[in-house]
A and B are shown apart, each in its own frame.
Chain A
């Protein structure tokens, strides 16, 4: 919408500028520049129009009404009449709701553990299938299967069955090994295996993004390092990792958001339940907002830390050059 006003302002500028110019030669020139500018804004509007309409209709509108809803209470179900109640909803979910905070804490804890692990594993897999070898196509397809099953019900069921052990779809320790390890250790190993399966099954898109990043690194860098006698290990830390750091950031945010918004997330299920089953609309909206603000703050923190880090690194290289 902002763009339109600037486009409207352009012809005004033409009329404002032209009388001031006494010289006749300059007149067409200024006009032409302005029309170009106008053309530019027009083009921007053409390309972004769908998005601007979409944002207004499918993003800002629901967000604003959800925000309003979190501060109010449905007084009349027919026509959804709302009455302002201030911070009552927030007060209720933070102080009185006995389920919200514990679920919130476990979800956050799980996500904070799973996100870095997912990144590490997907990076390892991407490194493994990056270079050509026999059977590369097959392995690539294997690692993409979780994406095909998506965040859908199929994957959730396959993994859930695994966790419950009723059908045994996930990897289960063989009984012989269980006897060998003893009860306590085998339980730990089993839960570790479960978590790894879960993490690997959530890392399809991340592997793809890392692959894209690895492929974009210039091969001459590695050749130069090899000539200088660098080992594979050194090359990984000194070339690969710095070169894909933007992808790491992208993946980090993507993974975190994926875990926070996936439909097998307990808190999300709780919020949906609160809205569509218990019909506590105001409280549900308030929960959504507390949750969203937390996710947003966390992402902001990650962005901030990584930006600071990269700035520091840039400073270091600049110093190195001076020496």
Chain B
């Protein structure tokens, strides 16, 4: 860039050019950064989606597509009957309601009890509140598997075996699957709320339980939603505890049927993709269709509540420890 001979200043034209080029480099830089950003995030998303997409695509493949190696992403035709076979093979209608009862009731139990307990830990300080909360955290650390046998004996003495009680009742007392996590979640949330609302309510003569149910619980909608989604999803997917406590085949849950489905396929030669069994074709595509059917309710629940769930997470106050 040349200076003007007379005044020793940059001419307006020159300056304009200079700034234009600067702006241009800034824009190209931003575009490059954006491209890189999307490249990274897309590759990450691909890793996340890969198994899921493969499952969905495999589930609609025809027998010939399954054998054909060149067909990976785009099936030559969509074979929806795979789903029908899987639906019947899983006895979906019956086991769906079993799973729904367990997951639904446990979710209700978790939300009610953990909100109450979390509120108790967030708002009341007393001599033992520290050690008691440490016990909550400790119960998070104990693997279920180390105490599963004594629990099994305990439930068998109570006559709870082969029913849904061992799965549902503990959730109403802040235990069960990841119960301590939800207590923690609610405690953090209630701690982040200002105390003024309750104090006003209490001054007006509202009792503690009524204050909780009428004022605090409606205010904690976002955390209730987070707990609902997570608890439902976790209970729906869990098959370890149902497998141990439930013996009667009619009472089993959907995810615990999958192992037998997989075993059915693996028992045959894995290379032999097509297998005749009782008049219908049982193959990998059907297996994937069955797998997809099992997680379908969870996907629906999440896709409906997705936006509120994410907002709830951001508002959960988990960061303010």
Residue in chain A with minimal CB distance to B113: A50
**Which A residues from 32 to 89 make CB contacts under 8 A with B?**
40-41, 43-44, 46-48, 50-51, 53-55, 57-59, 61-63, 65-66, 69, 80
Distance between A7 CB and nearest chain B CB, rounded to angstroms: 11
A51-B173 in contact (CB<8A): yes
A3, A80, A145, A211 pick with most chain B CB within 10 angstroms: A145
Give the segment of A8-16, A17-25, A94-102, A134-142 that binds chain B.
Answer: A134-142
B47-A2 in contact (CB<8A): no
Q: Say yes or no: is B320 at the interface (Cβ < 8 Å to chain A).
A: yes
A213-B319 in contact (CB<8A): yes
Contact of B143 among A41, A249, A295 (CB under 8 A): A295
Distance between B34 CB and nearest chain A CB, rounded to angstroms: 8
In the complex, what distance in Å separates the CA atom of A197 from the CA atom of B44? 10
Contact with B along A284-323 (1 / 0, CB 8 A): 1100110110011001000000000000000000000000
B154-A158 in contact (CB<8A): no
B51-A201 in contact (CB<8A): yes
Total residues of chain A contacting the partner, CB 8 A: 96
Prevailing SS type, chain A contact patch: helix
* Interface size bracket, B side: 35 or more
Give the segment of B12-20, B237-245, B274-282 that binds chain A.
Answer: B237-245
B121, B149, B230 pick with most chain A CB within 10 angstroms: B149
Q: Say yes or no: is B73 at the interface (Cβ < 8 Å to chain A).
A: no
Q: Say yes or no: is B306 at the interface (Cβ < 8 Å to chain A).
A: yes
Q: Say yes or no: is A237 at the interface (Cβ < 8 Å to chain B).
A: no
Q: Say yes or no: is A154 at the interface (Cβ < 8 Å to chain B).
A: yes
B113-A63 in contact (CB<8A): no
Q: Say yes or no: is B262 at the interface (Cβ < 8 Å to chain A).
A: yes
Supposing A145-B48, A212-B314 touch, asked if A292 and B150 sit within 8 A by C-beta, the answer is no
Contact with A along B112-145 (1 / 0, CB 8 A): 0100110111011011100010011011111111
Supposing A141-B306, A145-B52, A263-B240 touch, asked if A167 and B173 sit within 8 A by C-beta, the answer is no
B51-A63 in contact (CB<8A): no
Q: Say yes or no: is B321 at the interface (Cβ < 8 Å to chain A).
A: yes
Supposing A43-B124, A250-B321 touch, asked if A167 and B175 sit within 8 A by C-beta, the answer is no
Chain A residues with Cβ below 8 Å from B159 are none
Q: Say yes or no: is B104 at the interface (Cβ < 8 Å to chain A).
A: no
Q: Say yes or no: is A146 at the interface (Cβ < 8 Å to chain B).
A: yes
A216-B237 in contact (CB<8A): no
- Supplied contacts A53-B173, A261-B144, A275-B148, 18 more A-B pairs, CB within 8 Å: A47-B117, A50-B172, A51-B113, A51-B136, A58-B151, A139-B41, A141-B302, A149-B298, A150-B234, A151-B238, A154-B294, A158-B291, A197-B47, A212-B319, A247-B318, A257-B141, A272-B148, A289-B146
When A and B form their complex, which 8 residue pairs have the shortest distance between CB atoms, in order from nearest? Answer: A54-B173, A47-B120, A152-B237, A288-B146, A150-B237, A216-B319, A246-B321, A261-B143
